[in-house]
Structure 1
Amino acid sequence: MKNTRIIALTMGLAVIASPGLAQSPEGEIGYAKGALAYDALMAGENEAAVAKLERGSLKDPAVMINLGQAYVRTGRTGDAAKMFMAAMNSNRSFDVVLSDGTILDSRKAAETALSNLNGRLASR
């Protein structure tokens, strides 16, 4: 069963290209401030985001997707792919709000992130 919880995630080509895009005033809807390391990711503090997210619930698709993004930004592409695949295959899914305002199912968001990662790796 799909939850209808909406959260803010920092992912997608738009964030990689333009980290200052629109964000929710809270940054993390439905989570304690900082739980998804949204502010750290938006500020480019990627190592801090990794440290914060690795202490979070690695069963939560939102945490997995944002951790995957932090891994991409720190060069850990293999770990990023694992996080995106885990989020895609999670038994939990819900709608997420991307930093550009797009709303996607968490599984689709993870699939998009993995596709973006694969595209970036293929273009090297």
Structure 2
Amino acid sequence: MATTLLLAGLMLAQSAPAITVEAQPGLDQVGYQALSAGRPDLAIERISADPVMSASDPAALINLGTAYARTGDRTAALARYKAALTSRDRYDLELADGRWLDSRAAARLAILMLERGKALALR
């Protein structure tokens, strides 16, 4: 897995801004394309199709949490964000504004945004 992932902020037509994660440009490995298209159910399906990734990869967990948040399941979203926070996997993510965040810091940000009624995803 790549050691860095690009994190970009997105504004959704729905109620909250989002950030989505994509391991390699052009691939939908962590549900980025489905999330950016406003299809959280499809993102859940695609991310969950790889049980290893959806159980341990911080980027996948954050996007899965975002997908659940967008479907209104805040409990499932929080569980995925917490799993990303405690994952043994850890790497840096670049924010849209050029700042870099450790994946655990991104997970903490996702939790904070969820508490404020917003969703975080990684690109």
TM-score by length of 2: 0.74
Report if the CA contact (8 A) 2:57-2:89 is conserved.
Answer: yes
Q: Distance in 2 between matches of 1:36 and 1:100?
A: 21
Contact 2:56–2:88 under 8 Å retained in 1: no
**Structure 1 residue matching 2:117: 3-state secondary structure:** helix
2:57 paired with 1:60: yes
Residue range with higher mean Cα deviation, 112-121 or 35-44: 112-121
Query: Comparing 82-91 with 100-109, which one deviates more in the overlay?
Result: 100-109
Q: Mark the runs of 5 or more structure 2 residues left unpaired by the alignment.
A: 119-123
Q: CA–CA distance in 1 between the matches of 2:44 and 2:26?
A: 17
Distance 1:31 1:60 in 2: 17
Is residue 7 from structure 1 mapped to residue 5 from structure 2 by the alignment?
yes
Aligned residues: 112
Is 1:74–2:71 an aligned residue pair? yes
Give the structure with the larger strand fraction.
2
Correspondence for 1:50 among 40, 44, 50: 44
Cα 1:33–1:99 shift into 2, 3 Å: farther
Deviation of the 1:84 alpha carbon? 0.4
Contiguous gaps of at least 5 residues in structure 1? none
Call closer, same or farther: CA 1:87–1:31 in 2, change over 3 Å.
farther
- After the TM superposition, list the runs of 4 or more consecutive aligned residues in structure 1 that deviate by more than 6 angstroms: none
Tell whether the 8 Å contact from 1:7 to 1:95 is kept in structure 2 after alignment: yes
1:110 counterpart residue number? 107
Sequence identity percentage:
34
Q: Is the 1:37–1:49 Cα contact (8 Å) retained in structure 2?
A: yes
